Amino acid sequence: MRAPAEVLVNWSWIGAHRGEILRLTVQHLELTAIAVALGVAASFPIAVAAYRHRRLYAPVSWIAGLLYVIPALALFALLVPYTGLSTTTAEIGLVSYTLLVLIRNIVAGLDGVPADAREAALGMGYSPSQLLWRVELPLALPVIIAGVRIATVTTIGLVTVTALIGQGGLGSLILEGIQRAFSTPSFVGAVLSVALAVAADGVLLALQRGLTPWTRPSEVRAVMLEAAPSSTVAAG
């Protein structure tokens, strides 16, 4: 007789390993948060410099693009002799994959600021730094946060690969399931990774809407009604 097929999910195994699953989920979130935070911190000054000095944009994009296309395993193999099988190795790799998306979106967001907004700010005596922080960045936020969303979702997926160097968060469950030919750990790791990506994207989207209320159609209509002459509103 043929042995019965293995069930996709062994719920008793999940119940017995809840603590380990929670620990790996937290580790996954920590690796992602650190990578995205460091990526934003590194990308912002580079992108602003490239925005203000356009000759820098091409070489900066080329270097960031080169890092982006290096396969993750190849990059880790290059780093391990110097940084070992450590969190540092994982984070260097993860941060490098965020740079291209973040730099491009920051520059694109700043490029999209209306020229008349800049001219008005300069006419009011704003310095270049005041122009950047009070006018350009607030108006560029939707595009910048969109880049952070892409980088975050991408990083959540890439963190699973770092299981190969012992730093994989939920990727450790996927790897365990493959090595043991046991589907439950792999299923749990994959489902939770997708859930984290969806949840993170939703949180960042809500943050974007909260920080940029003027981009909502309802807010735009309200501003238009407030700015319209009373006779025009009455006639409508």
DSSP conformation letters of 181-220:
T-HHHHHHHHHHHHHHHHHHHHHHHHHHHHH-GGGSHHHH
Output 11 or 228, whichever has higher pLDDT.
Answer: 11
Question: Measured between alpha carbons, how far is 149 from 212 in angstroms, rounded to an integer?
Answer: 15
pLDDT of 176 strictly over 90: no
Residue-wise pLDDT for 142-168, tens only, equals: 899 999 999 999 999 889 888 888 877
The one-letter amino acid at 209 = R
Q: How many angstroms separate the CA atoms of 212 and 189, rounded? A: 34
Q: Name the residue with higher pLDDT: 60 or 181.
A: 60
Say yes or no to pLDDT of 1 above 70.
Answer: no
> 204 and 149 in contact (C-beta within 8 Å)?
yes
Spans of all domains in the chain: 11-235
* pLDDT at residue 235 in the model: 41
The torsion angles phi and psi of 95, rounded to 5 degrees, stand at: -60, -40
Alpha-carbon Rg for the chain in angstroms = 23
* Residue 169, SS3 per DSSP: coil
Q: Hunting for tokens 């410099």 — which residue is that?
A: 49
Asked if 29 contacts 159 with a C-beta cutoff of 8 angstroms, the reply is no
Q: Which amino acid is at 50?
A: A
Asked if 161 and 224 touch (Cβ cutoff 8 Å), the reply is no
The identity of residue 52, as a single letter, is R
Condensed to tens digits (0 to 9), the pLDDT of residues 97-145 reads 999 999 999 999 999 888 888 888 888 888 888 888 888 888 899 899 9
The candidate with the shortest Cα–Cα distance to 34, out of 111, 107, 86, 103, is: 86
User: Rounded distance, CA 155 to CA 211, Å?
Assistant: 23
Question: SS3 breakdown of the chain: % helix, strand, coil, rounded to 5?
Answer: 85, 0, 15
Lowest-pLDDT range, 86-100, 160-174, 212-226? 212-226
Token pair in block for residue 68:
């982006």
Q: What DSSP assignment string belongs to 110-157?
A: HHTS-HHHHHHHHHTT--HHHHIIIIIHHHHHHHHHHHHHHHHHHHHH
Query: What is the CATH T-level fold of the domain 11-235, as seen in this structure?
Result: MetI-like fold (1.10.3720)
Q: How would you classify residue 107: left for phi > 0, otherwise alpha for psi between -120 and 50, otherwise beta?
A: alpha
- If you ran DSSP here, which 8-state letter would residue 53 be given? S
Find how far residue 29's CA is from the centre of its chain: 12
